[in-house]
């Protein structure tokens, strides 16, 4: 292919002014031999990695529970809570990403990545259950997004924006406290992961490409279009961290 391309370019030069009239078709033909940029492959579910993360996170939870119980003073308890937050904020996003490419369905109830189809509420409830939160994933997944969030956080720990332009919301999230945010939209529930680089919107999308996706600010179409946005930082709340450490049951709000 390279040789054919060089021959065409040589003909173009040799033709001089006569070749000028054929320049555009010759260039187009030459370019057809050049290698095209190949799009990266679409993410695929990673059930094996997911199981490894589940196992490791449960091991960490048990170790932190033992540390917290054995703490001799407030500083040692504070350190255990801090370390638990770090573990969750490191591991939860990786667990979410093991689901990438898992197809969405309004009634999807897959138990793990690639194990069938998944709805947005079941994606959220299953990841949280598998991260070590003791909860009824079926009951939690069926609640409105506000009830899902309030099952973990009181209203005083949540923010609600109605009719706020997306750019204003995005700017606020880019400078928000780092953590794992449970996020409710008009008809959707998802995770927003905030770190020093900004935020990522990770969710089971009922819009194209109709699967679990990890989106940046500019590509989070579902988040952009919503006029109602509620959010609460799970990992910034000490009460939530302690319930995780102790293995306490999360009481689901709603019916």
Average pLDDT taken over every residue of the chain: 89
Instruction: Please give the DSSP secondary-structure letter assigned to residue 247.
Output: T
CA 126 to chain centre: 14
User: Alpha-carbon distance 65 to 58, whole Å?
Assistant: 10
Angle, helices 74-97/238-246, rounded to nearest 10 degrees = 80
Rounded to the nearest 5 degrees, what angle is found at the Cα of 191, between the Cα atoms of 158 and 239? Answer: 45
Indicate the domain borders of the chain. 2-32, 47-246
Judge whether 131 and 92 are in contact, CB under 8 Å. yes
The rounded distance, in Å, linking the Cα atoms of 210 and 229 is 21
At residue 65 the predicted structure's pLDDT band, cuts being 50, 70 and 90, is very high
The mean pLDDT value for 179-203 works out to 98
142/144 Cα distance (integer angstroms): 7
- CB distance 122 to 109 below 8 Å: yes
Residue 41: per-residue pLDDT: 77
Question: How many angstroms separate the CA atoms of 202 and 200, rounded?
Answer: 6
Residue bearing the bigger pLDDT, 230 or 25: 230
Q: How many CA atoms lie within 13 A of 233 on its CB side?
A: 14
């Amino acid at each position: 292919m390279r040789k054919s391309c060089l021959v065409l370019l040589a003909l173009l030069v040799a033709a001089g002014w006569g070749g000028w009239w054929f320049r555009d078709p010759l260039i187009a033909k030459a370019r057809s031999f050049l290698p095209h940029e190949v799009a990266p492959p679409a993410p695929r579910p990673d059930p094996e990695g997911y199981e490894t993360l589940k196992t490791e996170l449960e091991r960490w939870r048990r170790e932190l529970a033992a540390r917290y119980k054995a703490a001799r003073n407030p500083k040692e308890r504070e350190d255990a809570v801090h370390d638990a937050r770090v573990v969750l904020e490191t591991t939860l996003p990786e667990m979410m990403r093991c689901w990438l490419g898992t197809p969405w369905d309004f009634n999807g109830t897959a138990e793990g990545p690639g194990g069938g189809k998944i709805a947005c509420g079941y994606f959220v409830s299953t990841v949280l259950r598998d991260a070590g939160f003791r909860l009824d994933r079926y009951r939690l997944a069926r609640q409105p997004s506000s009830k899902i969030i309030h099952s973990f956080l009181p209203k005083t720990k949540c923010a609600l924006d109605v009719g706020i332009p997306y750019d204003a919301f995005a700017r606020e999230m880019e400078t928000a406290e780092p953590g794992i945010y449970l996020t409710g939209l008009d008809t959707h529930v998802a995770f927003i992961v905030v770190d020093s680089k900004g935020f990522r919107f990770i969710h089971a999308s009922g819009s194209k490409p109709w699967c679990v996706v990890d989106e940046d600010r500019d590509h989070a179409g579902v988040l952009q279009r919503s006029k109602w946005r509620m959010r609460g930082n799970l990992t910034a709340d000490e009460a939530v961290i302690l319930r995780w450490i102790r293995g306490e049951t999360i009481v689901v709000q709603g019916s």
